[in-house]
Structure 1
Amino acid sequence: MKKQERLERIIKILAPGDFVSGEELASEFEVSRASIATDIRKLASWGADIFSVKGRGYKLAHAFTPLDKDKIEAAFTSATLAPIRIHTCLESTNASMKSAHDWQQGEVLLADIQTHGRGRRGRDWVAPVGSGLTFSMFWRFDQGHQSLTGLSLVVGVAICRALHRLGVVDVGVKWPNDIYSGMSKLGGVLVELEGQLGSSAACIIGVGLNINLENQNLYVDQPVIDIASILNEEPDRNKFAGVIVSTMWETLQEFEAKGFSAFQQEWQSYDVFQGKRIALSMGERQVVGTGNGVDKSGALLLATDSGVESFHGGEVSLRGFAE
């Protein structure tokens, strides 16, 4: 058995949150206790919070339910469009999808653990082991790059639709790619494009959603929230994965047929900064005004002293502005 496979099996053995002795693990995998100790240190480097108690063994600080293909597919709200693939640990689902080829339309890659997840503008996506839902979806747009206007906003709408189906109604969006509950971040979207201008556009759509952070010590630059806190109960990660993936399939097909303009009003109904005083930073430039939704291309509309101005993505960032 390769070491990577052994590591993945160990984390699944520890997932229920019970003590497992080093002797049991060594016997299971026919390796030395020293090898198991080395494996535990490696798992800790992946972000697994494992503690050791003499005479009892190893225990994962926060139990979690591993992702399960059959359970995810059982939660689909529409016909299966493409295969889903699950890995216990990947550096990044987006990076792994980019490094391979021949993905089917709508195919999904999920990971229980991401060691180097990424958000917009190269930021790290922080997700302790088993605490979130992280996956990437492949989608090819035959009409090319010009048909992608507003794509990340549409994915946000799809996620909000799915969460509503799952009973999570206090959710919204922050332009251009964040999912919010109240004024705290619940998740995010990262869209990466492949292909040349003038040809079909292959997109890798990455999604990260906080499921149950369990008071983990996260080093992030903004308030965060999770599904467990909103519902006041332990969410079923597999059910959430199935409903969100299948809702994204439905919504992306609708987007291909109708474009972003068909989603403009719905996106604005979820906009947590609508009518609020906000500041946008573009390098050293900052513009302050009142959020006024988005136009039919998905550009942010900001009411300033100079009138209503529109802003596109790229290096634009958005934070709540306190006067």
Structure 2
Amino acid sequence: MLGKLLDLMSDGEFHSGEWLGQQLGVSRAAIWKTLKKLEDDGYPLHSVRGKGYRAPKGASLLNVERITRLLAEECHAKWQWHLTSEIDSTNAQAHRLISRFGPRPLACSSEQQISGRGRRGRSWASPFAQNIYLSVVEPFETGAQALEGLSLLVGLVLVETLEEAGYQRCQLKWPNDVLMDGRKLAGVLIEVAGDLSSECIAVIGVGINVLMSRSEQIDQQWTSLYLASQAGELDRNWLIARFMSRLEVALALFRQDGFLPFVARWSERDAWIGRTVRVVSGSNATEGTYLGITGSGALRLSTGAGEVVMHGGEVSLRLADAS
């Protein structure tokens, strides 16, 4: 019932509980109970006595048929899709599916993650039906060594998708974060399995805060598309389809030429260029002026000892004056 209910409310207008109940053949009390649980979980519903309930325009549950229909035509048959209501994490599900089906293109998404993961073992807040939790499995024939810059590429595709959707204040933070107005909006987690120099598999995990309006789980400044106060697209099915369509085009070029063709576009959206930063790797920290990225996606840092080039992995980038 929830999916049909949100579809009825996806126009962003107020609808009375009585009208909604009539459309679905249930009581007004059943409508109230369903929406109350959704609201208690943090879903951004607006209720006004005498007017009814309003959901954000475009809000709906995930639907594989709808996603597939919105994909670019050449992508319709590429991925084997797996959609769940609840999962530990989509990346973990992707690894299980690889073990079951072998190295083939897969796409995993879920309405909720109970153990969502970010880089360096951090948790990822994953409330029900509010955000995008997506993992894409991509086999590569060139080996893991050729995948440097992949997380930066995915971040760039995310930003360009969001720009197409109407969000114009997105920036990229090396190596895997998307920021809006300096706050974290989305993140990328790449996990690679296989040979360094021959066949390997990349699990591309993406999390985007779409409808989330509150969270007690996040220990850093964050935002969501809903909170962005921009008249952009909030339909998660549309966002996933456009991201996947753009990703397919970008990966074809990446397989051929690596990250180099994307450097200029990434640099145009670089959030911290020229800032004093601290690069942390384990117990080691290096401070200097952030100079941008190399042609392969590595970080360039100007220090007292000269320019240093640092690669991704378990490295964290922070502003030097941040607490």
TM-score for both structures, normalised by structure 1: 0.79
Matching of residues 142-181 of structure 1 within 5 Å? 142-181=141-180
- Aligned partner of 1:96 in structure 2 is 93
- Aligned partner of 1:75 in structure 2 is 70
- How far 1:155 moved relative to its partner? 0.9
- How far 1:181 moved relative to its partner? 1.2
Q: 2:61 aligns with which of 52, 66, 69?
A: 66
The 8 Å contact of residues 116 and 124 in structure 2, kept in 1 or not, is answered as yes
Instruction: Spell out, residue by residue over 1:105-125, the C-alpha distance to the aligned partner (whole angstroms, 9 max, x if none).
Output: 442111111111100011001
Q: Which runs of 4+ in 1 moved over 6 A?
A: 16-20, 60-63
The 8 Å contact of residues 233 and 239 in structure 2, kept in 1 or not, is answered as no
Aligned residue type for 2:66: K
- How far 1:233 moved relative to its partner? 6.0
- Aligned partner of 2:218 in structure 1 is 220
- How far 1:303 moved relative to its partner? 1.3
The alignment status of 1:87 with 2:84, answered yes or no, reads yes
SS at match of 2:203: strand
- Identify if the C-alpha distance between structure 1 residues 138 and 89 changes in structure 2 by more than 3 Å, giving closer, same or farther: same
Instruction: Spell out, residue by residue over 1:173-194, the C-alpha distance to the aligned partner (whole angstroms, 9 max, x if none).
Output: 1111111112111100011111
The 8 Å contact of residues 49 and 61 in structure 1, kept in 2 or not, is answered as no
Matching of residues 197-208 of structure 1 within 5 Å? 197-208=196-207
SS at match of 2:240: helix
Matching of residues 113-262 of structure 1 within 5 Å? 113-214=112-213, 216-228=214-226, 229-232=228-231, 235-262=234-261
Instruction: Spell out, residue by residue over 1:2-51, the C-alpha distance to the aligned partner (whole angstroms, 9 max, x if none).
Output: xxxxxxx7x6578679989xxxxxxx9xxxxxxxxxxxxxx99xx9469x
How far apart, in 1, do the equivalents of 2:102 and 2:155 lie? 23
- Aligned partner of 2:286 in structure 1 is 287
The 8 Å contact of residues 194 and 200 in structure 2, kept in 1 or not, is answered as yes
How far apart, in 1, do the equivalents of 2:320 and 2:231 lie? 30
Instruction: Spell out, residue by residue over 1:70-110, the C-alpha distance to the aligned partner (whole angstroms, 9 max, x if none).
Output: 22123224522323332111111110110123267442111
How far apart, in 1, do the equivalents of 2:135 and 2:173 lie? 20
How far apart, in 1, do the equivalents of 2:250 and 2:73 lie? 11
How far apart, in 1, do the equivalents of 2:102 and 2:60 lie? 27
RMSD of aligned alpha carbons = 3.1
- Aligned partner of 1:39 in structure 2 is none
How far apart, in 1, do the equivalents of 2:160 and 2:231 lie? 20
The 8 Å contact of residues 67 and 112 in structure 1, kept in 2 or not, is answered as yes
SS at match of 2:79: coil
- Identify if the C-alpha distance between structure 1 residues 191 and 76 changes in structure 2 by more than 3 Å, giving closer, same or farther: same
How far apart, in 1, do the equivalents of 2:112 and 2:321 lie? 36
- Identify if the C-alpha distance between structure 1 residues 277 and 230 changes in structure 2 by more than 3 Å, giving closer, same or farther: farther
Aligned residue type for 1:159: L
- How far 1:230 moved relative to its partner? 4.5
Matched residue pairs, number? Answer: 287
- Aligned partner of 1:40 in structure 2 is none
SS at match of 1:90: coil
SS at match of 2:85: strand
TM-score for both structures, normalised by structure 2: 0.79
SS at match of 2:189: strand
Instruction: Spell out, residue by residue over 1:223-272, the C-alpha distance to the aligned partner (whole angstroms, 9 max, x if none).
Output: 11111225256711111111011111111111001111122222211110
The 8 Å contact of residues 189 and 208 in structure 1, kept in 2 or not, is answered as yes
- How far 1:163 moved relative to its partner? 1.5
SS at match of 1:125: coil
How far apart, in 2, do the equivalents of 1:136 and 1:83 lie? 12
Any gaps of 5 or more consecutive residues in structure 2?
10-15, 19-25, 27-36, 44-52
- Identify if the C-alpha distance between structure 1 residues 78 and 189 changes in structure 2 by more than 3 Å, giving closer, same or farther: farther
Aligned residue type for 2:171: G
Instruction: Spell out, residue by residue over 1:111-168, the C-alpha distance to the aligned partner (whole angstroms, 9 max, x if none).
Output: 1111111000110011221221111001011011121111111111111221222222
How far apart, in 2, do the equivalents of 1:14 and 1:124 lie? 31
Instruction: Spell out, residue by residue over 1:254-313, the C-alpha distance to the aligned partner (whole angstroms, 9 max, x if none).
Output: 100111112222221111011112111222322221111111222111112222111112
- Aligned partner of 2:31 in structure 1 is none
Any gaps of 5 or more consecutive residues in structure 1?
1-8, 21-27, 29-42, 51-59
The 8 Å contact of residues 274 and 291 in structure 1, kept in 2 or not, is answered as yes
